[in-house]
Chains A and B, each alone.
Chain A
Amino acid sequence: MTNVESLATKPLFGLPLAELWFALLFFIFGMFLFLDGFDFGVGVLFATRNDDHEKEQLLAAVGPFWDGNEVWLVVFGGALFAAFPSVYANLFSRYYLLMFAILAALGLRGLAPEMYEEREDDRWRTLWGYSFVIGSTVTPFLLGLFVMNWLVGATGLITPVGVLGGVTVLVLTIVDGAAFLGLKTRGALRDEMRDYGIRAAVGYLGIAIITLGVIYVTEPGLRSSFRSITVVALVMLTATLTGIYTVALRRRRYYAAFAATATLVFGLVGLVATLLFPFVDRTAGLTVREAIISTLPLNIMSIMASVLLPIVLGYFVVLYSAFSGPVDTEETYG
């Protein structure tokens, strides 16, 4: 019984669980942004294709994955609700319309490939092809806008830094998608995707620096955080990795480029988390420690998450190994 009692009164192993959950939350968001990010990127790059066969290949590349990738967003929502319920409540009711716009765009992105494959006639495919591109473009943009609003504690829905944040995330998904397509396509299609990837990477570095500069100037409250070692390190990491990504793509090292993308995404998410900390909701003035749930449910959730999340990562290993390598030229999205 003593164990159960201590579960209710003391944090597990005396760990700083509030901070760990804050980190876990951003890790989950990073997983979502990295994995679904390449789905979005593929959706954006879909707009550059005119050939039906190439379009089929892009859809086939993300076909088995996107749904599982999107579940990271479900887990993010659940984890935020479970660990910081007041933040979950404040954040989503504050950016009410933005949230529904994200959900609508995400819905369109999910529905479009399913519909696209349903019929072969041109008008139908044009309609759902456009829907796929729009859904895949608008979702990451709005997600970036949302996260930026969250970070700076904006009260309005559309803010200048928010728009910059949106563009940053959108461009990052193209970087991500191009690296992924490097692994999933062959020949001329892959070469073209590679060129888009290199251009997007250069663009990403530029827009990220501009965004950070604008935050520094317009958000005096965040200025002190900028001088922290972590922030400087993450910015330098981003610059280095953009270089590595570009070189890797030039040398056709697609796995290296993909790994660089992952680090870029987690670098960005880590940057946001570092700038936000110790707050978890700046507008509501809630710090991590204030917003965290009480000890008993926190301990339970910590045990559950530390058991379940490694298993979940295992599922993804199984899934991605089952579909490793380029999609067959004959293989399509069924």
Chain B
Amino acid sequence: MVDPVLASRLQFALTTIVHIIFPVMSMGLAPFLIYFTWKEIRTKQPVYEQLRRFWTRIFAVSFVVGTVTGLVLEFEFGTNFAAFSTTAGELFGGPLALEGMMAFMLEATFLGIFVFGRDRVSDRLYFLSSIAVGLGTWLSAVWILIANSWMQTPRGFEIVVENGNRIVKLTDPLAAYLNPRFPYMFIHMQNAAVESVALFMAGVAAYYVFRHHVWGYPIKHIDFWEKTLKIALAVLLITAPLQVIQGDEYARHVSETQPQKFAAMEAVWETDSYVPEYIVAFPTDVNDLLNPRTKDLFGIGIPGGASWLASGGNPQATIRGLESFSTKAPPVAIVFWAFRIMVALGFWFILLAVWGVYRWWRGELFEDDLLHKALMASSLLGFVAVEVGWIVTEVGRQPWVIQGVMRTSAGVSPSLTGAEATFTLLGFVAGYILLLSLYTYVVGRIIRAGPPPRDELTQSDAAHIQESEVTSGD
């Protein structure tokens, strides 16, 4: 039997780790879909209709699975973190309610039109639906990140004791909702979503381009994949550098507002100046290999690097060590390595973007098989970067569920028993493995089937044929 506190934490971690995949897919696809729809209506070129229809199918599946996992997430605050919900509800519940009313409703209703209604509504309403869907996904992120960023840098509240419970009372809504972390988090998340989807698109397109141009297999509608690859690379060239540059500022902001998290990211135990930026670090004692909080580390790094990054240019700057905090350090190794994986991937994506665009500019985009392989291998790495990034954010802020106000362990539902929590945790593991397998299977089938055939697209009475084609299981 797992302790209810640990089980709740694991279950919540699992829920969020699985859930984030689907919003990233839909938030990242949204701008592409708006662009495809606009080009389809404006240029009447069949390739844009193919692009719109193909990627809308993936969007729709991601949305359905995301609704399933997101609904679980919404109620899990009540089921597993009742004490947190009681304490923070006044500040935390509002954004969740507003997310539902302002964003999710917009997305879900117009998605019905966007997926099923091409032949039922005017071009104008159809284009507006694509914008409504996209806006809905991004507004969802606004409210969810307002809620999350408030937990990282809580502002605009006071604590009152009511019926023996500590209750967070909202005193200044603007300060609370537009807390210092929010803009950093929002830009980082949204750009990451677009970047991840660009990488995914580029990887899938590279596979077909590689088979066609390098292996010489005839691929139907190869221009569809060539177009996808180019659009994805163009977007990657913008998003990849932006992510790293903005990420650097974000990390500096973390060092100012959550010094304990920053110390864990850099594995700094003793407060010191001229702190190196470790590239890697390992426990000096083999017995500590599995202890995430070991203090005796051997690292290889850039002298003064961490100080330089934290202060924005001064290698002599002092960084507060984990020893100087009264609370127990988060599992440092997890935060340290997750941060490094994320940063390394961030730079790798820039390299990929520059490499791809350079080949494109030279007119060699479809010949460079090494580039194709690199893109294929990186197709899911954007999602990996998002996952490790959120691990830095969420594991790094432990033991706090609300920074400096409430500990995660104090937030768990008092009535929850170990048996209940263990039972649902096991159910989650099984259910989410099944869910992810099904999702991968369906997306894999959509990709293998390729874009919808073009000869059906431009006919005026294409609706019926299209529909039966879609259902014929490709």
Interface segment, A41-49, A222-230, A300-308? A300-308
User: B101 and A308: CB pair below 8 A?
Assistant: yes
Closest-by-CB residue of A relative to B434 is: A111
Q: Inside 8 A of B83's CB, which chain A residues have their CB?
A: 89
Q: Inside 8 A of A319's CB, which chain B residues have their CB?
A: 109-110, 112-113
Does B1 interact with chain A (Cβ within 8 Å)?
no
Q: Inside 8 A of B115's CB, which chain A residues have their CB?
A: 64, 334
Q: Inside 8 A of B423's CB, which chain A residues have their CB?
A: 97
B48-77 residues with Cβ-Cβ distance < 8 A to A are 61, 63-65, 67-68, 70-72, 74-75, 77
Query: How long is the Cα–Cα vector from A266 to B455 in the complex, in angstroms?
Result: 49
Q: Inside 8 A of B68's CB, which chain A residues have their CB?
A: 106-107, 110-111
Distance of A70 from chain B, by nearest CB (Å): 7
User: B108 and A71: CB pair below 8 A?
Assistant: yes
A268-315 residues with Cβ-Cβ distance < 8 A to B are 293-294, 296-297, 300-301, 304-305, 308-309, 312, 315
Does B209 interact with chain A (Cβ within 8 Å)?
no
Does B406 interact with chain A (Cβ within 8 Å)?
no
B80-128 residues with Cβ-Cβ distance < 8 A to A are 80, 82-83, 85-86, 88-94, 96-102, 104-106, 108-113, 115-117, 120-121, 125
Does A160 interact with chain B (Cβ within 8 Å)?
no
User: A81 and B97: CB pair below 8 A?
Assistant: yes
Query: How long is the Cα–Cα vector from A32 to B373 in the complex, in angstroms?
Result: 48
Most buried by B among A90, A93, A99, A111: A93
User: A67 and B89: CB pair below 8 A?
Assistant: no
User: A334 and B94: CB pair below 8 A?
Assistant: no
**Of A120, A297, A315, which is within 8 A of B170 by CB?**
A297
Q: Inside 8 A of B104's CB, which chain A residues have their CB?
A: 71, 74-75
User: B64 and A300: CB pair below 8 A?
Assistant: no
Query: How long is the Cα–Cα vector from A17 to B445 in the complex, in angstroms?
Result: 51
Instruction: Provide the B418-451 mask, 1 if CB < 8 A to any CB of A, else 0.
Output: 0010011001000100010010001001000000
Distance of A125 from chain B, by nearest CB (Å): 10
User: B170 and A92: CB pair below 8 A?
Assistant: no
Q: Inside 8 A of B169's CB, which chain A residues have their CB?
A: 294
Does B413 interact with chain A (Cβ within 8 Å)?
yes
Interface segment, B181-189, B192-200, B272-280, B466-474? B466-474
Does A79 interact with chain B (Cβ within 8 Å)?
yes
Query: How long is the Cα–Cα vector from A82 to B424 in the complex, in angstroms?
Result: 26
Query: How long is the Cα–Cα vector from A75 to B423 in the complex, in angstroms?
Result: 28
User: A99 and B75: CB pair below 8 A?
Assistant: yes
Query: How long is the Cα–Cα vector from A65 to B116 in the complex, in angstroms?
Result: 10
Most buried by B among A65, A90, A300, A319: A319
User: A75 and B113: CB pair below 8 A?
Assistant: no
Q: Inside 8 A of B77's CB, which chain A residues have their CB?
A: 81, 88-89
Query: How long is the Cα–Cα vector from A314 to B416 in the complex, in angstroms?
Result: 41
Q: Is the interface of B mostly helix, strand, loop or mixed?
A: helix
User: A316 and B473: CB pair below 8 A?
Assistant: no
Q: Inside 8 A of A296's CB, which chain B residues have their CB?
A: 170-171, 173
Does B287 interact with chain A (Cβ within 8 Å)?
no
Q: A315 and B90 in contact (CB under 8 A), knowing A79-B97, A114-B61, A120-B472? A: no
User: A85 and B170: CB pair below 8 A?
Assistant: no
User: B442 and A103: CB pair below 8 A?
Assistant: no
**Of B109, B413, B416, B472, which is within 8 A of A315 by CB?**
B109
Instruction: Provide the A114-125 mask, 1 if CB < 8 A to any CB of B, else 0.
Output: 110111100000
User: A115 and B442: CB pair below 8 A?
Assistant: yes
User: B78 and A74: CB pair below 8 A?
Assistant: no
Distance of B347 from chain A, by nearest CB (Å): 37
Does B362 interact with chain A (Cβ within 8 Å)?
no
Does B79 interact with chain A (Cβ within 8 Å)?
yes
Q: A85 and B467 in contact (CB under 8 A), knowing A64-B112, A305-B101? A: no
Q: Inside 8 A of B117's CB, which chain A residues have their CB?
A: 64, 322-323
Distance of A120 from chain B, by nearest CB (Å): 4
User: B97 and A301: CB pair below 8 A?
Assistant: yes
User: A70 and B67: CB pair below 8 A?
Assistant: yes
Query: How long is the Cα–Cα vector from A308 to B103 in the complex, in angstroms?
Result: 10
Query: How long is the Cα–Cα vector from A293 to B173 in the complex, in angstroms?
Result: 14
User: A64 and B438: CB pair below 8 A?
Assistant: no
Query: How long is the Cα–Cα vector from A296 to B467 in the complex, in angstroms?
Result: 51
User: A93 and B415: CB pair below 8 A?
Assistant: yes
**Of A73, A81, A120, which is within 8 A of B92 by CB?**
A81
**Of A71, A93, A300, which is within 8 A of B105 by CB?**
A71
Does A27 interact with chain B (Cβ within 8 Å)?
no
Does B464 interact with chain A (Cβ within 8 Å)?
yes
**Of A85, A99, A115, which is within 8 A of B79 by CB?**
A99
Instruction: Provide the A85-108 mask, 1 if CB < 8 A to any CB of B, else 0.
Output: 110111111101101100110110
Q: Inside 8 A of A85's CB, which chain B residues have their CB?
A: 85-86, 88-90, 92-93
Q: Inside 8 A of B435's CB, which chain A residues have their CB?
A: 107, 111
User: A78 and B67: CB pair below 8 A?
Assistant: no
Query: How long is the Cα–Cα vector from A119 to B441 in the complex, in angstroms?
Result: 11
User: B78 and A81: CB pair below 8 A?
Assistant: yes
Q: A92 and B79 in contact (CB under 8 A), knowing A74-B74, A103-B72? A: yes
Does A333 interact with chain B (Cβ within 8 Å)?
yes
Query: How long is the Cα–Cα vector from A213 to B94 in the complex, in angstroms?
Result: 38
Instruction: Provide the B236-271 mask, 1 if CB < 8 A to any CB of A, else 0.
Output: 000000000000000000000000000000000000
User: A304 and B101: CB pair below 8 A?
Assistant: yes
User: B424 and A331: CB pair below 8 A?
Assistant: no
Closest-by-CB residue of B relative to A117 is: B471
User: A332 and B89: CB pair below 8 A?
Assistant: no
Q: A78 and B416 in contact (CB under 8 A), knowing A67-B108, A96-B424, A119-B473? A: no
Q: Inside 8 A of B120's CB, which chain A residues have their CB?
A: 322-323
Does A68 interact with chain B (Cβ within 8 Å)?
yes
**Of A67, A73, A77, A83, which is within 8 A of B64 by CB?**
A67
Q: A107 and B116 in contact (CB under 8 A), knowing A75-B97, A89-B413? A: no
Q: Inside 8 A of B63's CB, which chain A residues have their CB?
A: 67
Closest-by-CB residue of A relative to B110 is: A315
User: A88 and B89: CB pair below 8 A?
Assistant: yes
Q: A75 and B112 in contact (CB under 8 A), knowing A85-B93, A100-B79, A323-B117? A: no
Instruction: Provide the B320-347 mask, 1 if CB < 8 A to any CB of A, else 0.
Output: 0000000000000000000000000000
- Please list 22 pairs of residues, one from A and one from B, whose beta carbons are closer than 8 Å in the complex, sorted by A's number: A64-B117, A70-B71, A71-B100, A74-B100, A77-B74, A78-B97, A78-B99, A81-B89, A82-B96, A85-B85, A85-B90, A86-B86, A92-B75, A93-B82, A93-B413, A93-B414, A114-B442, A296-B170, A301-B94, A318-B125, A319-B112, A322-B121
Apart from A67-B67, A93-B413, what are 16 other A-B pairs with CB-CB below 8 Å?
Answer: A64-B116, A68-B108, A68-B111, A71-B104, A71-B108, A78-B93, A81-B97, A94-B415, A97-B424, A120-B472, A296-B171, A304-B98, A312-B105, A318-B113, A334-B467, A334-B471
B residues near A (Cβ < 8 Å) are: 61, 63-65, 67-68, 70-72, 74-75, 77-80, 82-83, 85-86, 88-94, 96-102, 104-106, 108-113, 115-117, 120-121, 125, 165, 169-171, 173, 413-416, 420, 423-424, 427, 431, 435, 438, 442, 445, 464, 467-468, 470-473
Sorted from nearest, which 9 A-B pairs have the closest CB atoms?
A85-B89, A92-B78, A81-B93, A78-B97, A64-B112, A82-B93, A89-B82, A93-B413, A75-B100
